[in-house]
Structure 1
């Protein structure tokens, strides 16, 4: 089944994702974002695993340290001026949800080089390990490289496509935490809470089948653990 891409991908961000992977010696995975769907059977299994997971597992700290460092590097690349080799995107953190849909967000990015982010501080759902600034940086890079770079929206299929695309920009270690923060939470949101509220944020690693990428890299000769 091929999903309709809800808005035109932002070419600057699509090219930027590949450039970041090349600069950080990560393999590039060529994906068809419109072909990605969320399998309800797998989604319910991921939701159950997230809900059953601990609030904070110290064994997950190495993955979260890597995730935090790599997210900060992506954010620096996203916001660094084009004259200095970055993408030159301005990020504004706001106290309220700034966009009615993904189309409005991509329009801001394409037309003005601007990305507004719903600040973590106003959500009343603190993370047991990441700071609000860490969370806000991740929201920015995930919206940019996961959603705007693929043209996929915020429904369950769009979130699955955004996870898959953005996950390719992380090392396997960091991807473990990144998957908990995206695929884990969104599966609970859609398959357990029926889109009404997000789950409590946690720090743990989902089982390997849920964060492993089962697609061959197009360049880079494979992944390093």
Structure 2
């Protein structure tokens, strides 16, 4: 899943969108050890780790059938998150309006977060961006872009630089089962790292699984706390 907006030059940390943060906790009430907003603000991606993730992604084939069960789980769980996102508030949803558009809709992360505060979001259409996915349909990829921008980024107020992407991966990964998280890590952490540390641009999308250690949220680095303090799930 390529993020719908490019890296921003604005300050990375914004105020979290409160109703989204509360909704994410309500959606996954069984999650234990969910870090506080202050912890998410201190998440950093170590360049050594980032380079290792990038190398693993770059070396992987376009698709691997062994990844398909994780991708099937990702699709099912993303659809549930999306319906929670757009569901009417009186029926327990967040009442957000999502529009899929043909051009990159936001100049920076601040504009995206401002839209989310107004319960609306635009997503750059997979079909228009010329980046088809080898497993996900265009509609499934668009849904994933939407829920990741909202539950990953807006819920904690982090942007699209490498540290913000790491924090968004950490937050959003907690809303997925361990199986789906393997595919979700490829789609977010994997693509982010190969873009930043290898290619400098959006990579080819793949349906593969990275080494399991890269899906372990307990190993995320937090300033002032080292690795292992970000999450204990």
Same fold, TM exceeding 0.5?
yes
Change (3 A) 1:90 1:198: same
Work out which of the residue numbers 78, 89, 93 in structure 1 matches 2:96: 89
Aligned length: 212
- Give me the whole-angstrom Cα distance separating, in 2, the residues matched to 1:28 and 1:105: 28
- Give me the whole-angstrom Cα distance separating, in 2, the residues matched to 1:98 and 1:33: 26
Kindly report structure 1 stretches of 4+ aligned residues shifted beyond 2 Å. Answer: 25-28, 215-218
Q: Which residue of 2 aligns with 1:126?
A: 132
Change (3 A) 1:114 1:180: same
- Give me the whole-angstrom Cα distance separating, in 1, the residues matched to 2:229 and 2:14: 27
* Deviation for aligned residue 1:173: 0.3
Change (3 A) 1:65 1:27: farther
- Give me the whole-angstrom Cα distance separating, in 2, the residues matched to 1:50 and 1:213: 18
Q: Which residue of 2 aligns with 1:30?
A: 35
The 5-angstrom pairing of residues 14-163 of structure 1 reads 14-22=21-29, 25-27=30-32, 29-31=34-36, 32-110=39-117, 112-163=118-169
* Deviation for aligned residue 1:123: 1.4
- Give me the whole-angstrom Cα distance separating, in 1, the residues matched to 2:101 and 2:110: 18
- Is 1:209 matched up with 2:213? yes
Q: Which residue of 2 aligns with 1:180?
A: 186
Contact 1:68 1:134 in 2 (8 A): yes
* Deviation for aligned residue 1:184: 0.2
Contact 1:28 1:168 in 2 (8 A): no
Contact 2:98 2:123 in 1 (8 A): yes
Change (3 A) 1:33 1:5: farther
Tell me, which stretches of 5 or more residues in structure 2 are unaligned?
1-10, 219-227
Contact 1:26 1:171 in 2 (8 A): no
Change (3 A) 1:157 1:216: closer
* Deviation for aligned residue 1:5: 5.1
